[in-house]
Amino acid sequence: MYAAALREAIADVTRGVGSAALASATEALTGRYRSVAPAGPPILDSADRVAAYAAYRMPATHAALARALQAVAATGVEPVSHLDLGGGTGAAAWASAEVFPSLRQITVLDQAAEALRLGQRLVESAPAEVLRRAGFVRAVAGAWPREPADLVTVSYVLSELDASQLKRLVADALSLGTVVVVVEPGTPDGYERILRARNAIRDLGWQLLGPCPHDAACPLAPGDWCHFSARVNRSAEHRRIKGGALSYEDEKFSWVAGAQPGTVAAQGISGRILRHPLKRKGFVEFQVCRPDGTAGREVISKREGQRYRDARDAEWGDVLP
């Protein structure tokens, strides 16, 4: 629901930017985000680049965050405060405000003043009061204000950092949050960074909230990577910028969430669906990650009644019925 409001807000604030400027800034950003080297100087360093980010990336990062946060909400977490580190134009704020009606305070921290400015303009007409009141505050990794929050998010930031900055940012997130959610692109190197965040969560003795149904080592075979998919509806402007004819795109993302011990009851889910389910006549076949720390094939057949009906509705990323 907020996705449509966000699309409209983005269209409003980017309307004044000329098409040629938007297209060339988009091209520069695409090239930069394809690279896996640490960023060095800030990438979102001009109004045109920030507008291009909002128009061509933010709907997708918002969609990925919404899916990850929905899975976290299903564990029973009800945060009152949310801190978004490296939050840029505020995609995580839009996702959390919709997923968690319990939220009363949202703060977005980032080094890029232009991104924060645009984020602030986007929320002016937002559908939730907590979002309209969100704070957009300039801060640099390593010197975040010491303001703990129930929920801390770090989305699509780690790829801009070198190994020691990454370690420090994840440690900062874990020292500031009761629940921490990290989201990265659903690529092999994005997954590798998520594994590093997952290890930091495990090393602290925290509870893993997802997507893993266990806290053992990741069981995926070498060459495989844990990732999920979120559908993003494209506006006409988005289609024009990205040069595609389809009215949607699928954003691939990897994520991990952890909570301080005692925050939520033990999960006990039956498994996490790791691929699009194969829906055949009379049965549904899944690739899943299991609570016993293994991964592999599961089949639910028509004989299983309600479980089979639930399996027909289940999607990649959901809990196994």
Q: How far is the CB of 181 from ligand SAM (least distance, A)?
A: 11
The nearer residue to ligand SAM, 61 or 178, going by C-beta atoms, is 61
Q: Which two tokens stand for residue 29?
A: 């950003």
Residue nearest to ligand SAM (CB): 88
Q: How far is the CB of 32 from ligand SAM (least distance, A)?
A: 9
The nearer residue to ligand SAM, 46 or 111, going by C-beta atoms, is 111
Q: How far is the CB of 260 from ligand SAM (least distance, A)?
A: 23
The nearer residue to ligand SAM, 115 or 197, going by C-beta atoms, is 115
Q: How far is the CB of 116 from ligand SAM (least distance, A)?
A: 8
Q: How far is the CB of 241 from ligand SAM (least distance, A)?
A: 16
The nearer residue to ligand SAM, 38 or 101, going by C-beta atoms, is 38
Contacts with ligand SAM by CB under 6 A lie at 42, 44, 58, 61, 86-88, 91-92, 110-112, 115, 140-141, 155-157, 160
- The C-alpha atoms of residue 52 and residue 277 are separated, in whole angstroms, by 35
The nearer residue to ligand SAM, 52 or 319, going by C-beta atoms, is 52
Q: How far is the CB of 263 from ligand SAM (least distance, A)?
A: 23
The nearer residue to ligand SAM, 71 or 115, going by C-beta atoms, is 115
Q: How far is the CB of 262 from ligand SAM (least distance, A)?
A: 28
